[in-house]
Amino acid sequence: MSIFLGIDIGSTTVKLVAVRAGEIIYKRYERHFSKVREKACDMLRDARGIISGEPLRVAITGSAGLGVAKASGIDFVQEVFATRKAVGKFVPEADVVIELGGEDAKIVFLSGQLEERMNGSCAGGTGAFIDQMAVLLDVTPAQIDEMSQKAERIYTIASRCGVFAKSDIQPLLNEGARREDVAASIFQAVVNQTLTGLAQGREIKGDVLFLGGPLFFFKGLQKRFQLTLGLDDSHAHFPELAPFAIAAGAAQYAGDSTSREYGFNELLDILEKTAGETVIAQTLRPLFVSREEYEAFRARHNAHDVMTENVTVYEGDAYLGIDCGSTTTKMVLIGEDNQLLYHHYASNKGNPADVIREQLLKLRELCGGRVHIVSSAVTGYGEALIQNAFGVDHGLVETVAHFKAARHFCPDVDFIIDIGGQDIKCFKIRNNCIDNISLNEACSSGCGSFIETFARSMGYSIEEFCKLGLFSTGPIDLGSRCTVFMNSSVKQAQKDGAGIDAISAGLSVSVVKNALYKVIRAHSPDDLGQHIVVQGGTFLNDAILRSFEQEIGREVTRPAISGLMGAYGAALHAKANVPAETGLLSAHELLGFAHTVKSVRCGLCTNHCNLTINDFSGGRRFISGNRCERPLGKGEQQKLPDLYTWKLERMKSYGAPSEHAEGKTRIGIPFGLNFFEMLPFWHTFLTKLGFEVVLSDVSTRDLYMKGQHSIPSDTVCYPAKLMHGHIENLLAKGVDAIFYPCMTYNLDEGRASNCYNCPVVAYYPELLEANVAALKGFDFMMPYFELTDHKQFAKQAAKFFCKKYPRIKKSQVAVAAEDAYAALNDYYEEVREEGRKAIQYADTHGLEIAVIVGRPYHIDPEINHGINQLIQSYGMVIVSEDAVWQLAKAPEVHVLNQWTYHSRMYGAAEYVTHKENAQLIQLVSFGCGIDAITTDEVRAIVEGGGKIYTQLKIDEINNLGAAKIRIRSMLAAVEEGRKLAKHA
């Protein structure tokens, strides 16, 4: 009798199962730490005692198993296929299987039409994602699970991929959210990701079988799945077999489909032989070819040092700078000669307040009576929290802090790049003023914490890990996209047998390439500048610094305190702005310092912000998570003109219940995409034809969730995804029909070579009709209309409506169309009039104008996440692109200008260059392909006119942190520029 052996080699683990006569006689699950082939051999050797006596039939499966199978000639079985085998054999009643592995997520629908799906190239891993999050929280994955069981609430964490989630979690931690809640929210994000990314419209019901390591080990994750899917215990299956299921399936396959039999020693021999082979596809040039070269490099960089003096020796006034970053906290104390008296650099372990309190206590003690801290400043992610908690005198935006520090080391500095744990920041310096800030957007953050997470998962510290790569002879080319893609590339390299040194060096190069080509989008070293200062903790690693110099082919300045530059800049700022008396907590106050955190939901407006309330001893309080001033209890501030709010209210008015509606056919209109501008038209048109128009509700997160199950393409923009929710919302309102026309063309405003809508706006109704199950058999009207030619439209509309509703006369359609055109025109006039008023208000009150350029649907509060309120809180008047584009002549553009909405942005940009107190802010929805073209053009127009270009990328993530940095940096730069202009 032979034994069937299944070996499942995944991205992080190897599983081995042996089956004899249908019984599992042996099973193992172990992490391979990227030593894939060696581990497989080890595990086979361990099983010798049980399986060596009989002939073996073997199949290999798993994402990293293909290479082994190919090299060894052993049969390979695709893993979803193996899963199906296992289920059929071991849990036959299952209707649906959900399987989460290290980096793959799969779903198999068994009953009904068989369907198998795997996560797309954009969806981040799941097991590896939880590992990453564990590092972020500084706990083990098992501890996350424990913590999650004590959760009281769930935060919204982006579910698309790991990087997105991370940028949601970090601010939560920094703002003091309960870690238990965060842990449970992480699991919920995994659940959401699985359901949106994989199920895609197919309902998950009946008996659901959960497989794979994470779903077996994490009880908290199990609970989230059960709650979300509404499964009771009898329908949710979490079998003992879960971690081994695929290996068991492979064993099953080996029994059914292979005939080749191996003796134990023969098999081991084959595997051992292949373990020795390495096949590497593409390698990069080494970082250093010799130790001498490395030493010369070290010596050159060591020259940029800072004067130091021991705090225990120094006497006199001193200035404190704190940089409370996303993963680390930095603190420096400087003396009268800018010399470094004391510094500290530590991971903030999820709670920066504790770390800072401890350090301040220590510092106060060291200072004794000799050193007097007379001024203090804080910068970074946690700026507001720390400033409030410890009575720090000044807060400044981190870009400004970095600039101040860089200028100290390199007075001619014209380019600064800072790669920190979670952020890449870089900016140019023009006329002594910050200009052109680039921050990494959520999708491209392959920065420090990525390497760190990776290093830790391999059992190294980041420093050790980076060092491994210094002398690698052939660094692996891992590409330059987001973390998720890199993870897969690493997986591939491991599969190919790459060594850890090659991976380490390859990762260093990737991080640098990511920063250069993705964030800065540099073309040549001259694009950056002549005098480049690099900083941030990540650059402390020589491998990364070296990759950077190699990539741009130019030597750069790395200050010895590279990791402390933010704090040093803050200290310099504190020194330049000494208050009459510092508010910094004394040693005594620090001893009695207490900090409690609670979270509540704000009920003061429809935003329903999740507020985190930090209470400190002495009755001080800090509230975060708010998008406006109201919960801060400062009373109603004076409302500045805001066209975003005005337009939204104007559009919402079409949702008011209409009079004399009895007996009329109720036609629903989804309140999204181009309806944000076309509502006046269609509402008037349909009403005049004798229908009652019903508008779906204003978008909310809940509304989105209601429709997310039918989204077929997970990389489409958020505004489009929201449409699914609007359709569900209308159906729930019991409308008789839904009207949503397809519109290839938009209105021709005479500024562009054509008047297209973008493909998504144009044809989304087609997609809804094909994917929203509830629309089947429902009256969903999606005729193709074009509005430019009034007569043609009336003709085409009559064709459609008179045929469908015989009561409607052709002449009636013509009249309704003219009324509709008039209503739209009135709306345009009103927008322009409101714009004029707002601009006038700003001019007479000496205020800045923020011209927000985007699309009509960006006024949707669920799309812009209240960015307009945030901008307004900095004292700016808000005007939208459609109110000003016609005020300037059409600028010269270097791209095909053929989309109506996009064409307006060019005009608005031109307007900004002619208006002294106007600043441009471009809103870009993640995934908007056309904005990849418009952003460069808008930037060129704005910068050509001597203004600063600011871009805010928005997505389903509700995190305004990056937006804040950009807006504040922009305002600081504007102010600085004005100051300089005055002096000149």
Contacts of another protein in 786-805 (CB under 8 A): 786, 789, 792, 795-796
Q: Which stretch binds another protein (CB under 8 A): 337-345, 731-739, 766-774, 842-850?
A: 766-774
| Contacts (CB under 8 A) with another protein, residues 902-931 | 927, 929-931
981 near another protein, judged by CB under 8 A: no
Rounded to whole angstroms, the Cα distance separating 677 from 656 reads 17
704 near another protein, judged by CB under 8 A: no
778 near another protein, judged by CB under 8 A: no
For 724-751, give the DSSP string. HHHHHHHHHTT-SEEE--B-SB----SS
Rounded to whole angstroms, the Cα distance separating 140 from 901 reads 49
Rounded to whole angstroms, the Cα distance separating 323 from 571 reads 10
Contact with another protein (CB under 8 A) among 517, 778, 828, 841: 517
What is the SS3 assignment for 91? coil
- Residue 413: which H helix or E strand, with range? none
330 near another protein, judged by CB under 8 A: no
Using only C-alpha atoms, the chain has a radius of gyration, in whole angstroms, of: 31
Cβ proximity to another protein, 265 vs 754, nearer residue:
754
Contact with another protein (CB under 8 A) among 72, 492, 508, 557: 492
Binding to another protein by CB under 8 A, coded x per residue (else -) over 863-902, reads: ---------------------------xxxxxxxxxx---
Nearest of 771, 689, 695 to residue 738 by alpha carbon: 695
Contact with another protein (CB under 8 A) among 272, 936, 943, 976: 936
Cβ proximity to another protein, 249 vs 977, nearer residue:
249
What is the SS3 assignment for 476? strand
Question: Rounded to the nearest whole angstrom, what is the least distance from the CB of residue 549 to another protein in the complex?
Answer: 17
Rounded to whole angstroms, the Cα distance separating 60 from 8 reads 6
Cβ proximity to another protein, 211 vs 231, nearer residue:
211
Question: Rounded to the nearest whole angstrom, what is the least distance from the CB of residue 767 to another protein in the complex?
Answer: 4
Nearest of 219, 210, 220 to residue 180 by alpha carbon: 220
Cβ proximity to another protein, 624 vs 757, nearer residue:
757
Rounded to whole angstroms, the Cα distance separating 827 from 814 reads 20
Question: Rounded to the nearest whole angstrom, what is the least distance from the CB of residue 95 to another protein in the complex?
Answer: 18
Contact with another protein (CB under 8 A) among 30, 54, 95, 120: 120
Question: Rounded to the nearest whole angstrom, what is the least distance from the CB of residue 66 to another protein in the complex?
Answer: 7
Question: Rounded to the nearest whole angstrom, what is the least distance from the CB of residue 482 to another protein in the complex?
Answer: 7
Contact with another protein (CB under 8 A) among 21, 142, 632, 770: 770
742 near another protein, judged by CB under 8 A: yes
Amino acid 385 reads L
299 near another protein, judged by CB under 8 A: no
Question: Rounded to the nearest whole angstrom, what is the least distance from the CB of residue 714 to another protein in the complex?
Answer: 9
Contact with another protein (CB under 8 A) among 368, 579, 712, 944: 712
158 near another protein, judged by CB under 8 A: no
| Number of residues written out for the chain | 984
Q: Which stretch binds another protein (CB under 8 A): 138-146, 317-325, 489-497, 836-844?
A: 489-497
Contact with another protein (CB under 8 A) among 265, 302, 596, 715: 715
Structure tokens at 940: 């060129």
Binding to another protein by CB under 8 A, coded x per residue (else -) over 122-151, reads: x-----------------------------
Contact with another protein (CB under 8 A) among 771, 812, 913, 917: 771
416 near another protein, judged by CB under 8 A: no
Angle at 246 between CA 62 and CA 259, to 5 degrees: 85
Rounded to whole angstroms, the Cα distance separating 161 from 893 reads 35
Binding to another protein by CB under 8 A, coded x per residue (else -) over 20-59, reads: ----------------------------------------
DSSP assigned state of 625: S
784 near another protein, judged by CB under 8 A: yes
| Contacts (CB under 8 A) with another protein, residues 197-236 | 200-201
Contacts of residue 112, defined as CB under 8 A and 6 or more positions apart, other chains included, come to: none
Q: What is the largest CA-CA distance in the chain?
A: 95
Alpha carbon of residue 131 to chain centroid: 18
Contacts of residue 553, defined as CB under 8 A and 6 or more positions apart, other chains included, come to: 525
Question: Rounded to the nearest whole angstrom, what is the least distance from the CB of residue 8 to another protein in the complex?
Answer: 14
774 near another protein, judged by CB under 8 A: no
Question: Rounded to the nearest whole angstrom, what is the least distance from the CB of residue 419 to another protein in the complex?
Answer: 18
279 near another protein, judged by CB under 8 A: no
Structure tokens at 479: 């590409």
491 near another protein, judged by CB under 8 A: yes
8 Å CB contact between 671 and 695: yes
Contact with another protein (CB under 8 A) among 280, 933, 972, 974: 933
| Contacts (CB under 8 A) with another protein, residues 610-629 | none
Structure tokens at 864: 């812009």
Going along 104-162, which residue ranges are E strands? 105-109, 115-118
| Contacts (CB under 8 A) with another protein, residues 463-482 | 477, 479-482
Amino acid 470 reads L
Contact with another protein (CB under 8 A) among 1, 92, 113, 807: 113
For 275-304, give the DSSP string. HH------B---S-SSHHHHHHHHHHHHTS
- Residue 24: which H helix or E strand, with range? strand 23-31
Cβ proximity to another protein, 397 vs 782, nearer residue:
782
Contact with another protein (CB under 8 A) among 290, 637, 754, 840: 754
951 near another protein, judged by CB under 8 A: no
66 near another protein, judged by CB under 8 A: yes
Question: Rounded to the nearest whole angstrom, what is the least distance from the CB of residue 489 to another protein in the complex?
Answer: 5
Contacts of residue 213, defined as CB under 8 A and 6 or more positions apart, other chains included, come to: 13, 29, 100, 101, 102, 127, 242, 243
8 Å CB contact between 61 and 257: no
Q: Which stretch binds another protein (CB under 8 A): 486-494, 644-652, 669-677, 970-978?
A: 486-494
- Helix and strand numbers (H, E) in the chain are 37, 30
Q: Phi and psi (nearest 5°) for 395?
A: -120, 140
Amino acid 394 reads H
Contact with another protein (CB under 8 A) among 392, 762, 870, 970: 762
Angle at 541 between CA 536 and CA 544, to 5 degrees: 90
Burial of 963 (0-12, 13-18, 19+ CB in 10 A): buried
For 109-152, give the DSSP string. E-SSS-EEEE--SSSPPSHHHHHHHHHHHTS-HHHHHHHHTT--
| Contacts (CB under 8 A) with another protein, residues 68-87 | 77-78, 80-81
Q: Which stretch binds another protein (CB under 8 A): 567-575, 608-616, 707-715, 944-952?
A: 707-715
